[in-house]
């Protein structure tokens, strides 16, 4: 996934107010609890097959249009 993040970084689409967890396919309850405290300060998304409740955002790692979906999410925040 890191190879996919490089184009986003080069295009400066990863603003300082967003956190994308890329090595976290199975987020722990502790991590989810921590991330739920961040909205309003920073938007949080994760590459995961597990459903996440708003305000957290989850992207399936094998999603065919993953980069496009992440770009759309970043534009929305």
Q: Give the 3-state DSSP-derived string for the chain, with helices as H, strands as E and coil as C.
A: CHHHHHHHHHCCCCCCCEEEECCCCCCCHHHHHHHHCCCCCCEEEEECCCCCCCCCEEECCCCCCHHHHHHHHHHHC
Query: Starting from the edge strand earliest in sequence, which strands make up the sheet with 18-21, in order?
Result: 18-21, 43-47, 57-59
Please write the tens of the pLDDT for every residue from 18-38: 888 887 778 888 888 888 887
pLDDT given at position 1: 45
Q: Global pTM?
A: 0.68
Residues in a beta bridge with 18: 43
Q: Which ranges of the chain have pLDDT less than 50?
A: 1, 15
Phi, psi (5° rounding) for residue 22?
-100, -20
């Amino acid at each position: 996934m890191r190879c996919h993040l490089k184009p986003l970084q080069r295009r400066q689409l990863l603003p300082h107010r967003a956190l994308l967890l890329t090595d976290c396919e199975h987020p722990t309850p502790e991590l989810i609890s921590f991330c739920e405290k961040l909205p309003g300060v920073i938007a949080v998304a994760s590459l995961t097959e597990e459903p996440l409740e708003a305000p957290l955002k989850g992207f399936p790692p094998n999603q065919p249009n993953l980069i496009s979906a992440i770009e759309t999410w970043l534009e929305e925040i």
